[in-house]
């Protein structure tokens, strides 16, 4: 394993993805306001969120490097974050049904006094979903706490007709971009 990296996230998916590429992490959750600014476009929003998460943790711990990420689902220019209710989750999935949307994941790495950023954009096409499929998926709890109300790595994978871009970026941490940032910072990978 390489040196320990602070992960500014409680996401078990991000922790597992980093382990997949040989990065040992210590989790220190970032607590920030994730409200989009008025008129803020999605790409700038996810980059700002990843940066703010990283810097919030850097301010609390003396150790570095710190890595953070933010993932949003974008449809019709609207940012679909984590649903606040099961009704909102059903509405999000209804909106995604039979359409292509984008998943944007920004990664921020603070190391050696420098903040580095990367952005992965993936197009995801859902097949047509009926009300029963949406109801059962939301009732399973798998939509909870996930951007756009779905996790591609779980049962919602059956909704995905086509993907163009980073699969791991849709899960929550684009591995190619993350490995490139770590390499730029001189942090070894196995």
Lowest mean pLDDT of 10-14, 47-51, 184-188, name the range: 184-188
Work out the pLDDT band at 189, boundaries 50, 70, 90: low
Residue 145 belongs to a domain: yes
What is the Cα–Cα distance from 152 to 172, expressed in whole angstroms?
10
33 is a domain residue = yes
Q: Is residue 1 very low, low, confident or very high in pLDDT (cuts 50, 70, 90)?
A: very low
User: Catalytic residue positions?
Assistant: 70
Residues 23, 12, 73, 30: what is their CA dihedral angle, to the nearest 10 degrees?
Answer: -80
Residue 189 domain-assigned (yes or no):
no
Residue 180 lies in a domain: yes
- Best mean pLDDT range from 38-42, 98-102, 141-145: 98-102
| Residue 144 forms part of a structural domain | yes
Query: What are the helix (H) ranges across the chain?
Result: 12-20, 42-60, 86-96, 131-139, 167-171, 175-184
Residue 125 resides in a domain: yes
Say if residue 114 is preceded by a cis peptide, omega within 30 of 0. Answer: no
List the domain range (segments joined by +) for residue 133. Answer: 5-184
- Write the CATH number for 22: 3.90.950.10
Contacts for 181 with CB less than 8 Å, ≥ 6 apart: 67, 107, 109, 116, 117, 118
pLDDT tens-digit map of 103-157: 999 999 999 999 999 999 999 999 999 999 999 999 999 999 899 999 999 999 9
Domain assignment present for 190: no
Extract the tokens encoding 183: 């390499």
The partner residues of 16 in beta bridges, in order of sequence, read none
Please report whether residue 173 resides in a domain.
yes
Residue 2 in this model has a pLDDT that exceeds 60: no
- For 45-69, write each residue's pLDDT tens digit: 999 999 999 999 999 987 779 999 9
Q: Note the pLDDT of residue 190.
A: 54
**Is the separation of the CB atoms in 118 and 106 below 8 Å?**
yes
Cβ-contact 133, 98 below 8 angstroms: no
Task: Please tell me the total count of domains within the chain.
Answer: 1
* Helix, strand, coil % over all residues of the chain, rounded to 5: 35, 25, 35
Q: What is the pLDDT of residues 67-98, one digit of tens each?
A: 999 999 999 999 998 999 999 999 999 999 99
């Amino acid at each position: 394993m390489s040196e320990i990296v602070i992960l500014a996230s409680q996401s078990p998916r991000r922790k597992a993805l980093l382990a997949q590429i040989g990065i040992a992490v210590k989790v220190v959750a970032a607590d920030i306001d994730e409200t989009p600014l008025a008129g803020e476009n999605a790409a700038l929003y996810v980059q700002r969120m990843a940066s703010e998460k990283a810097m919030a943790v850097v301010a609390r711990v003396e150790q570095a490097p710190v890595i953070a990420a933010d993932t949003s689902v974008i449809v019709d220019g609207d940012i679909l974050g984590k649903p606040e209710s099961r009704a909102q989750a059903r509405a999000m999935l209804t909106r995604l049904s039979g359409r292509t949307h984008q998943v944007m994941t920004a990664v921020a790495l603070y190391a050696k006094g420098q903040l580095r950023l990367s952005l992965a954009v993936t197009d995801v096409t859902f097949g047509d979903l009926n009300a029963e499929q949406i109801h059962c998926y939301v009732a399973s709890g798998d939509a909870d706490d996930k951007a756009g109300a779905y996790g591609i790595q779980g049962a919602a994978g059956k909704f995905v007709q086509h993907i163009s871009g980073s699969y791991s970026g849709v899960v929550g941490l684009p591995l190619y971009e993350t490995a490139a940032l770590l390499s730029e910072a001189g942090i070894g990978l196995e």
